[in-house]
Structure 1
Amino acid sequence: MRGLQLSLNKGQKLRLEKALEQLESLSSKANSDASVIVADDISVNYEDAILKGHGTAEMDGRVVATLCGVVERVNKLVYVRSLRARYKPEIGDIIIGRVIEVAPKRWRLEINFSQDAVLMLSSMNLPDGIQEKCIDQLHEQNDNLMNAVQALFLALAFQRRRTAIDELNMRTIFEENDVICAEVRGFQHDGCLHLQARSQKYGKLKRGQLLTIPPYLVKKRKQHFHHLDQYGIDLILGCNGFIWVGEHVEVRDDMADDLSDKPEQQNVKSLSTTSDEEVEETYTPLDTRQNICRTANAIRVLSTLGFMVTVEVIMEIVDLSVSLNLDVHEMLGSEFYVIVAEKEAERRSLSTKKR
């Protein structure tokens, strides 16, 4: 909420200031024990042989904070988590990036970090065409054999050594400015941040919007992929502050599919014309596009106000705009910002009273 700049009239400004003051008071009461500033004492039990982590230091026999934030404790480790910090990658993080360079055997991605990330050709699945070609060869040999070893063969196809042909065809998979979803693998011996995309849910993102918000507004959870069934869209909350809102895409798991009826599926596909396939792939219905824009505007409102961005809060904002009969562009008006702040202050106040 710091640096909030909106064109408000006098009444809207007073209402917004009142709502923000209420939110700040509720937040300070909730975090009074955990919040610290520089040189504040951190209460610890020295008998437990604590470990002093990031943001802490020992001074005159006391443990003090060296930055502003919230005190976190993990077993014997005590550290201070900064409230407004840049994105710090952790292994397993779901991130969204944009390809900025196609290099030998790797793609270089911009991920809203102090350095670019690297996605190696060997760290992702093979294109569907290669998988299907391998499966067809087994079908031609023996159907019974296919049913017996299809899982093993597919696993070997996914993990096989990449060849010079694969390297030459890298631009057919990803090229510059493509938006990609991947997982953080970790920092390797060369000092680069490496990514991996070894699942069908990762890969190129199409027909949607890419939003950039401060990374500290995205709370890390077990699930960052969300399918909003009522709106027919997919929502991916990247831990690095990149958020994707796009048309729903069915994720097909090749390892789990029953491929015994594959020839019949190929016959059905051959009946459709190429032009129909191209139109179906590039066309997004008007209702879906409006839902994408409405959800994206809800995220923009939350980011501007400095509220945590979760799928539950996003859906509340979208439903609020629908209940008020607002058009998509009206969600970015000053009045809607004030209404959202007032609703959030009311919701937190009620939750505090219930406790």
Structure 2
Amino acid sequence: MNHLAADVPSISNTRLFGDIDRGIQADKLVIPGLPVSQLSGFMRGHGTYLRGDELYSSLAGAVRQVNRLINVQSVKQRYSPEIGDVVVGSITEVQEKRWKVDICGRLDAHLQLASVNLPGGELRRKTTEDELAMRDYLVEGDFISAEVQQVHHDGSIFLHTRSLKYGKLGIGVAVRVPSYLIKRRKTHFHALPCGAGLIIGCNGMIWICEQISEDPDGGYNIDLNQHVPASNMKVISRLFNCINVLANHGIHIFETSVMNCYDFSSAYETKDLMRSDVAAEVAAQVIQQLRADIMDES
């Protein structure tokens, strides 16, 4: 149960059901060669090219517009970090005064020793003794939650865990989904009504655990051999399968969609969610509920 990760199969649907949550209509999903805008005065962004006075798509993806700039966001692109993003990653290497972290991007991110809380939540200047004890804090294979602190022009990424809600993660399950399905929210740490905790990383890594709490030791003293009750394991397993259902059907993943899927799936056994017919039925119910919620808000 400890530190398991799974990749969700690539999405084969030609229409993304989750586009309603980001204001992207289904008719704005384009393939290479299709016109993006027939109006003049727009600036050509990434994923587009100009032919005459019209913009055409050079990628398969969703059309995004920021003021007068139009670009096409590929549904297959790797995670592109932004400052302030909450991410879940795994330690890949311990270096001098820093750890390298896999956050599903083009490059591994850097977590500097000066950018972490030491056990007890201390924020003091790090000494040579702290550097020698780095492997007592984090080693290869450990999962952490962190925040993107800096993104440099050369693509290098720097993280920090200077908050008690960030740090080393204990017993739980990690599931990897396409990062474009993650809906950015004010908070990515959730205590779900079903009794489990959820950390939804903007990088497409989602951590499912028993509960979310601020550890005064930053998670460095977690007992990874502690017993997990069978009832909690069943909840975590169902959430794991629910997230797979959402990802495989192109539905944006945030706390509401996850709980909707969890509730609708209660009519089935957890293992049945791996069946394509059951997954499609549950996904259709989630989509219908999300659309109803949007209509109510409008």
Pick the TM interval, shorter chain: 0.7 to 0.9
CA distance in 2, matches of 1:347, 1:108: 41
Which has a greater percent of strand? 2
- Deviation track 1:163-218 (CA, whole Å, cap 9, x = no partner) reads 10110111111111100111112334775221111111111111110111122221
| SS of 1:54 mapped into structure 2 | coil
Please, which of 105, 119, 123 is the counterpart of residue 127 of structure 1? 119
1:221 to 136, 161, 185: 185
Residue number in structure 1 paired with 2:273: 331
More helix by share: 1
Aligned-residue CA RMSD (Å): 3.4
TM-score when normalising by structure 2: 0.80
AA aligned opposite 1:111: I
The structure with the larger Rg is: 1
For residue 255 of structure 2, what is the aligned residue in structure 1?
311
Match of 1:321 among 259, 265, 269: 265
In the aligned structure 1, how far is the partner of 2:55 from the partner of 2:247?
Answer: 34
Query: Alignment identity in percent?
Result: 35
Aligned equivalents of 1:2, 1:169: Cα separation in 2: 39
Q: Deviations over 1:46-78 (max 9, x none)?
A: 2xxx54322233333433333233332222332
Cα offset, 1:350, TM superposition? 5.9
Render the CA deviation track for 1:72-127: whole Å, top value 9, x for unaligned. Answer: 22223322222332211111111111111111101111121222111110111222
> What is the distance in 1 between the residues matched to 2:53 and 2:25?
29
Counterpart of 1:343 in structure 2 is 285
Cα-to-partner distance string for 1:206-251 (whole Å, 9 max, x where unaligned): 11101111222212222211111x3322101111111100011421
1:289-347 deviation digits (Å, cap 9, x = unpaired): 2211111111122222332222112111211222x1x3332332344213214424644
The alignment's TM-score, normalised by the length of structure 1, stands at 0.69
- 2:241 maps to 297
Is 2:156 the partner of 1:192? yes
Give the whole-Å Cα distance in 1 for the aligned partners of 2:9 and 2:125: 51
Q: Distance in 2 between matches of 1:59 and 1:242?
A: 39
Q: Is the 8 A contact 2:90 2:144 kept in 1?
A: yes
Which runs of 5 or more structure 2 residues have no equivalent in the other structure?
A: 1-7
Looking at structure 2, the residues matched to 302 and 181 of structure 1 have their Cα atoms a distance apart, in angstroms, of: 22
Gaps of at least 5 residues in structure 1 are 6-19, 132-157, 255-276
**What amino acid sits opposite 2:98 in the alignment?**
R
Q: What is the match of residue 108 of structure 2?
A: 116
SS at match of 1:299: helix
Between the aligned partners of 1:2 and 1:281, the Cα distance in structure 2 is: 30
Q: 1:143 is matched with which residue?
A: none
Tell me, yes or no, if the aligned pair for 1:42 and 1:65 is still in contact at 8 Å: no
Paired residue secondary structure (1:209): strand
Q: Answer yes or no: is the 8 Å Cα contact 1:213–1:242 preserved in 2.
A: yes
> Are the counterparts in 2 of residues 95 and 184 from structure 1 also a CA contact under 8 Å?
yes
Aligned counterparts of 2:234 and 2:88: Cα–Cα separation in 1? 23
When structure 1 is superposed on structure 2, of 64-73 and 196-205 the one drifting more is: 64-73
- 3-state DSSP of counterpart to 2:37: coil
**How do 1:240-319 residues align onto structure 2 when only pairs under 5 Å count?**
240-251=203-214, 282-319=226-263
Task: State the secondary structure of the residue aligned to 1:290.
Answer: helix
Matched residue, 1:172 = 136
Q: Which amino acid aligns with 1:87?
A: Y
